[in-house]
Structure 1
Amino acid sequence: MILIPVIDLMHGQVVRAVRGNRQSYRPIESTLCRGSVPVDVASVLCDHCASPLLYIADLDALLGRVTQVSVLQDLLRALPATEIWLDAGFASAEAARRLRDALGADGARVVPVFASESLDSRAELQRCFADAAHPAGRDGVLSLDRRDGQRLDAAGCWDAPELWPARVIVMTLERVGSDAGPDLDTLADVRRKSPGVFAIGAGGIRDAADLDRAAQAGAGAWLVASALHDGRLARVSG
């Protein structure tokens, strides 16, 4: 099981995500570090997990505000050996390409996360992962998003497994920061639709036992934040 640490960015700070209610998020309080400065929090999380990957949700962009380009550039400079998976509300492969260009040379280390809640259309889903003219999409990750049993999916991503890329995130937003345990039923449903996909879970991990259960259910990786900040997952030896 690969543990992928997560930071949620809002107004230049790391905030604590709880059940997908983004307007109510507050600056992070962590047992691992002081304060909510993105570089500090990201560095300690990657070190704690011995992770070459970091998942970033730019909540300003997801809420329709300006993308936090300068914060992302600071993180890329501070973590030169880290691959960044970025959800910035991309509606299209072209939007991801423009942001990677704006980030400069370090933008090549950004893997776009195309979320079902954000993509414009089924055609755009296909373009993201099949169009050779859009490398920002070709190497990206798809996030299948749902909350309270409802798919967040105007583009119809959930029902088009033939268009899914090799890596798919199963994002159950009401489980994020909830201490409710991982949503293994939805993970299993995604794996039934596309048995060969590398499935990455998101939300609900409370402790190492949950990670073991998720691995047994077929998850190859899991996005984690709250259990790390609360000291419920031990440091991973490098």
Structure 2
Amino acid sequence: MLHIIPVLDLKDGQVVRAQMGQRDSYRPIVTPLNAGSDAVAVAGGLRTLFPFPTFYIADLDAIEGRAPNSEAIARLATMPDTPELWVDAGIADAQILAATLAEPSLCPVLGSESQRDDSLLKRFRGHTGLILSLDFFDDGFRGPAALLNQPDLWPQRVIVMTLAKVGSATGPDFARLREIKAKAGSRSVIAAGGVRDEADIRALSSLGIEAALVATSLHNGMLTAKQLALLGR
């Protein structure tokens, strides 16, 4: 069975509820798992369902060119049973990427939407900590075409991020995942967007998907503690 990785979307220091890539409309999360929208509190609430060893962090402020949520990310990195943090912070600079790769608990996510060209990927693709996110919006792929069309540039882990599916409860983008999986060879492919329930998790696993980034179905109870224990990863 594939790994389930909870998502924390950060904006103005708080976890927000993502909805189909419409970032201007994101508001602080309301969840039965904990009180408030503090990042560490939300992560702790998610861990009441399952002892997740990894979290995916979308630093929306950094992605959109504002001051990064560094303090919230630093606090997440010092939680008990220190999680591995996959962090998309709009990195498009070699010095920042190298510094992030040097942090033991951080795995930088190179989002295609933030890249000007393929130079960072060419330079760092061999680093085991690097993750590539292929970002798809309503208007299609966002980023340099070389990142999508040259799978030989891809690192070992590749996220297929379908923003229109995020928070939509419409199911994963199975067609696109099959397409990327066919190109990826032995690389790990991670699904992001639209995961609703255990049936979706099992369907993704049957496609050979390594992991799924999940938020809504954890907070609304469609994936329960019992199901997560049975899924076991």
Q: TM-score, normalised by structure 1?
A: 0.90
Change (3 A) 1:120 1:217: same
The correspondence for 1:125, drawn from 103, 121, 125, is 121
Give the CA deviation at 1:51.
Answer: 1.5
Which residue of structure 1 aligns with residue 180 of structure 2?
190
Which residue of structure 2 aligns with residue 20 of structure 1?
21
Give the CA deviation at 1:128.
Answer: 2.3
Write the letter of the residue equivalent to 1:114: L
Counterparts of 2:23 and 2:203 in 1: how far apart (Å)?
A: 28
1:171 aligns with 2:161: yes
Give the CA deviation at 1:99.
Answer: 4.9
Question: CA-to-partner distance for each residue in 1:163-205, whole Å, 9 max, x for gaps?
Answer: 1011100100000001110001111101111221111000001
Change (3 A) 1:191 1:100: closer
Asked if 1 retains the 8 angstrom alpha-carbon contact of 2:58 and 2:87, the reply is yes
Which residue of structure 2 aligns with residue 141 of structure 1?
131
Counterparts of 1:168 and 1:47 in 2: how far apart (Å)?
A: 28
Asked if 2 retains the 8 angstrom alpha-carbon contact of 1:43 and 1:79, the reply is no
- Unaligned residue ranges in structure 2 (runs of 5+): none
Which residue of structure 1 aligns with residue 70 of structure 2?
69
Which residue of structure 2 aligns with residue 96 of structure 1?
97
Q: Secondary structure at the match of 1:145?
A: strand
Change (3 A) 1:214 1:47: same
Counterparts of 1:196 and 1:92 in 2: how far apart (Å)?
A: 28
Which residue of structure 1 aligns with residue 198 of structure 2?
208
Which residue of structure 2 aligns with residue 81 of structure 1?
82
Q: Secondary structure at the match of 1:178?
A: coil
Question: CA-to-partner distance for each residue in 1:41-94, whole Å, 9 max, x for gaps?
Answer: 012223423221011111110111011111111111124521110000011342
Q: Secondary structure at the match of 1:33?
A: coil
- Unaligned residue ranges in structure 1 (runs of 5+): 102-106, 131-136
User: Identity of aligned pairs, percent?
Assistant: 41
Change (3 A) 1:70 1:143: same
Q: TM-score, normalised by structure 2?
A: 0.92
Give the CA deviation at 1:100.
Answer: 6.3
Write the letter of the residue equivalent to 1:205: V
1:29 aligns with 2:30: yes
Deviation >3 Å, runs of 4+: 98-101
CA-based RMSD of the aligned residues comes to 1.7
* Residue-pair matches, total: 227
Change (3 A) 1:214 1:66: same
